[in-house]
Structure 1
């Protein structure tokens, strides 16, 4: 298998990444939300300065694709005018905060996310690795446990706040007044104990002894993301998390947009599922159970097409099957194991059951039709 290049960082707006279809510029919406004008403005900028395609990442971020060296400056100026940028690339990389989309205006989630943001952009903030992140998952029940994060703010069964290191089955009881300081202390503890690790769950799995106080059992997540109505608006899905600028502009006309790590968007106050081209409103659509990276040729490391292959496989999946199609062994779109993983290689596709894109394959050198027969 060809060894892919590991960049070691995620793209940002101020620190973009070169890909096969141009420069990728990643925007990290503050508190996970875009105002209607901001969403519409991003669509306009992506059309003017990119190739008109936009991605939603597994961390609730939004990426503009196909930017050129000549168009980059104009894009950044437009994003700055809409207050969507951080002061420096270093601050941008630290502000990796995932927020439950089900917060309500004025509730504790909004305040905690804003306070954590303030601390992580401050001069003395812990210098955590680029991919290290936080999850503010402080609704009554957790919804972000399957999303990537290293330090989590959740609630226990009694409704109290707990601070949870990712990989731990228990958390530390905290209050609204103490949780942010305790979260920063936990980040500092990670930095002292991480050795060569970049993620909290690796440190926990290696047997590091947490500071005292982490004894409250976590609630297990029962929420399953799906398109549909919520008291806050309508959730719509996006095949592979990708949408053209016309779709984003169409959604922006419906209301403010809250990003999710599920490649879905919550359209605020929508009482009807938006009739916008390019969105998925049927919770039974098999494309909702397929994750696929950009693949070749848009990704310079992709060894073959991914999304066209994924679209062909999707109708053949069982009702409970989930599929990950990766253009290389990095598995960027879904780093965790999946029930079915298809990895592109220089000699066809590998099929991996219950594993990651880089794991040993059960079958190798497959064609699309071979994969479908093997399911």
Structure 2
């Protein structure tokens, strides 16, 4: 298997990442939400300075693709004019915050996210590893447990607020007034004890014991994201999380957009599913059973045209299962294990069952036809 280059950080707006089709500029919407004008503005900027393609990331962010290096500065000026850029790249790198899309005005969730952003923007905030992240999952039931995060805010079965270290099955009861301070204290503890570990779950798996107080059982997530109506608007999917600028501009006319880690968007207040090119509105669409990275040729490390292959495989993935198609062993599109993972190599495709893209495969050097037979 080819050894990909692990860069150790996620791209940002101020610290973009070069890919096969130009710079990838990742915008981290504050509090996990884009106002209509911001969404429309991103579409305009992506058309002017990028290649017209936009990605939704597994961390609930939005990426402008194909930006030339000489277009990066005017793009940043445009994003800054819409209050979509942090003060500097260091703050941006720390602000990996996902927010449940199901908060309502007047609830605490929005305030928690805003206060956490302030704490992470402080000059004395700890220099956390590049992919270390936070989940503000403080609705009545958790919906972000399958998304990548290290420090989590959740509710216990009785509605009490708890602080959770990813990888541990119990949380620490905390008050609304102190939850952000407690979260930052947990980050400080991680930094003091992490050694070479960059993620919370890996540190705990190594045998390091959390400080006292983590005694309240967590709720187990039962929510499964699906396109359709919610009390807050319409949830719509996008194949592989990619959309054209026209699609984003059309969605912006429908309402504000709440980000998710599921390659879906919650269109605020929408009472009908918008008929816009590229949207998935059928909850039984086979494309919802596959996730795939950009792949070749847009990613310089991709060893295959992943999304074309994933479209071929999707109808053969059984309902209730899930397939992760990765262009290399890094597995950027899906950080955790999947029931089925297909990893591109120079020799063909490797198949991993109940594992990650870089795990030892159950079968090697397969063709798409071989994979269809195997699944």
Q: Normalising by structure 2, what TM-score?
A: 0.99
Aligned to 1:116: 116
Q: How does 1:36-75 map to 2 (within 5 A)?
A: 36-75=36-75
1:105 aligns with 2:98: no
Deviation (angstroms), 1:106: 2.1
Structure 2 CA distance for aligned equivalents of residues 321 and 153 of structure 1: 28
Structure 2 CA distance for aligned equivalents of residues 270 and 310 of structure 1: 30
Structure 1 CA distance for aligned equivalents of residues 315 and 336 of structure 2: 23
Structure 2 CA distance for aligned equivalents of residues 164 and 361 of structure 1: 32
Structure 2 CA distance for aligned equivalents of residues 276 and 222 of structure 1: 30
Structure 1 CA distance for aligned equivalents of residues 18 and 96 of structure 2: 21
Structure 2 CA distance for aligned equivalents of residues 364 and 136 of structure 1: 39
Structure 2 CA distance for aligned equivalents of residues 57 and 286 of structure 1: 20
Which deviates further from its counterpart, 348-357 or 234-243? 348-357
Note the alpha carbon deviations across 1:349-374, whole angstroms, 9 max, x for none.
11111111111111111111121122
Structure 1 CA distance for aligned equivalents of residues 205 and 36 of structure 2: 42
Structure 2 CA distance for aligned equivalents of residues 224 and 336 of structure 1: 16
Structure 2 CA distance for aligned equivalents of residues 304 and 280 of structure 1: 24
Unaligned runs of 5+ in 2: none
Aligned to 2:183: 183
Structure 1 CA distance for aligned equivalents of residues 216 and 367 of structure 2: 49
Structure 1 CA distance for aligned equivalents of residues 360 and 115 of structure 2: 43
Structure 2 CA distance for aligned equivalents of residues 178 and 374 of structure 1: 51
Indicate conservation of the 8 Å contact 2:148/2:335, yes or no. no
Deviation (angstroms), 1:209: 1.4
Structure 2 CA distance for aligned equivalents of residues 233 and 288 of structure 1: 20
Equivalent position SS for 1:112: helix
Structure 2 CA distance for aligned equivalents of residues 361 and 192 of structure 1: 36
Structure 2 CA distance for aligned equivalents of residues 46 and 156 of structure 1: 41
Equivalent position SS for 2:280: coil
Unaligned runs of 5+ in 1: none
Aligned to 2:253: 253
Aligned to 1:274: 274
Q: Which runs of 4+ in 1 moved over 4 A?
A: none
Which deviates further from its counterpart, 356-365 or 173-182? 356-365
Structure 1 CA distance for aligned equivalents of residues 236 and 369 of structure 2: 30
Q: How does 1:67-216 map to 2 (within 5 A)?
A: 67-216=67-216
Deviation (angstroms), 1:77: 0.8
Equivalent position SS for 2:180: helix
Structure 2 CA distance for aligned equivalents of residues 10 and 111 of structure 1: 25
Deviation (angstroms), 1:275: 1.1
1:299 aligns with 2:299: yes
Structure 2 CA distance for aligned equivalents of residues 325 and 80 of structure 1: 35
Structure 2 CA distance for aligned equivalents of residues 337 and 77 of structure 1: 39
Note the alpha carbon deviations across 1:237-292, whole angstroms, 9 max, x for none.
01000101111011001000000001100000001111111100011111111010
Structure 1 CA distance for aligned equivalents of residues 36 and 372 of structure 2: 41
Deviation (angstroms), 1:210: 1.1
Deviation (angstroms), 1:71: 1.2
Structure 2 CA distance for aligned equivalents of residues 157 and 366 of structure 1: 46
Structure 1 CA distance for aligned equivalents of residues 351 and 217 of structure 2: 37
Equivalent position SS for 2:189: helix
Equivalent position SS for 1:26: strand
Aligned to 2:316: 316
Equivalent position SS for 2:187: helix
Aligned to 1:223: 223
Q: Normalising by structure 1, what TM-score?
A: 0.99
Indicate conservation of the 8 Å contact 2:239/2:287, yes or no. yes
